Amino acid sequence: MRIDEIKSAFETEIAKCQTLQELQELKVKYLGKSGELTALLKSIKDIPAEERPSFGAKVNALRNEMEQQFAEKSEALKASDMQRRLREEKVDVSLTSCKSLGALHPVTLIENEICELMTSMGFEVLRGPEIETDYYNFKALNIPDDHPARDMQDTFYITDSILLRTHTSPMQARLMEKKKPPIKMVCPGKVFRSDSDASHSPVFHQIEALVVDKNITLCDLKGTLEYIASHLFGKDTKVRFRPSFFPFTEPSVEVDLTCSNCGGKGCSLCKGTGWIEVLGAGMVNPFVLENCGIDSKKYNGYAFGIGLERIAMIKYGIPDIRLFYENDQRFLKQFGK
């Protein structure tokens, strides 16, 4: 009988199924719209009328039996697949193959050290957006339209008025607009300039400081920098101011430290001068205060910006700024000791 043949063939084939995909294909073969059992039901019209009830009952019984076997086989294959995956994807969480622990990046170490020093002096640490407007990056800081820093070869522009910040100073203007003196803040973070060689990187890190209050002087600025320098490079480190110019400070100074390598005697690192230039600083330009809504006749202040890679290069004796970004494990492991 055709029913017995189909049942026998089905039982043989289902026993051979090894995957859920094979099982699904077998189900379509026997129970699908064009399957073997469906064809049997369609042939019922060719059977004598008195045999049709018995024939239909047998076909339905076989369908029920097949569906039950499909369900049981499906569960068995799922369980088997799960066991296989557990074996193959097993992770030994007790494995102790790690021979060394990770460490903070040298730039992060310097940033953390300076931030801790500044907070111990009452400064608050703030972070600003890396994508800035032309207004906060330049105009609010008294940098005119014809200043070289605005040139395309020096600044990464997104649109005519949106750019990647060239310093972290924009946060100073943002804060002064919202908060009135006294103000003591530092802003660390990434900055971007179109420059790349052994001592310059298109992406580097700065930390800028701002103090605004009554009767602030250059002596306050120098005292703060001497405190930072003594903690970073040793208590005998001296600070020297040289006159300079920055649009957002007046007067402005370049700040030198006695060479940490030779103690000021002169060596190859400081090119025989005994001094190393480390940062720019000055008294906040009255125009910047007025731009931010602060009365420059009542308040004044100082600001300075430190390149964190510059400090790390001096402190750790690193000759090339590009080493910070190459992810060479031989270089980075030195700072985990």
User: For residues 319 and 313, what is the distance between their CA atoms, to the nearest angstrom?
Assistant: 7
Q: Are 244 and 253 in contact (CB under 8 A)?
A: yes
Of 3, 123, 137, 117, the C-alpha closest to 59 is 3
The structure tokens listed for 239 are 């600070």
**pLDDT beneath 70, residues of the chain:** 1, 95-100, 149-153, 196-200, 337
pLDDT at 96: 66
Q: Which pLDDT does position 124 carry in this prediction? A: 96
H helices present in 213-285, as ranges: 218-233
List, for residues 164-180, the tens digit of each pLDDT value: 999 999 999 999 999 99
Measured from the Cβ of residue 60, the count of other Cβ atoms closer than 10 Å reads 12
- 325: its two tokens: 């970004």
Is the Cβ–Cβ distance between 246 and 280 less than 8 Å?
yes
- Rounded-to-integer distance, Cα 78 and Cα 300, Å: 75
Q: Please say whether the beta carbons of 335 and 109 come within 8 A.
A: yes
Query: 115-125: per-residue pLDDT in tens?
Result: 999 999 999 99
Alpha carbon distances (Å) from 21 to 14, 24, 73, 83, 303: 12, 5, 12, 17, 70
**pLDDT tens profile 45-79:** 778 888 788 888 888 888 888 889 888 888 998 99
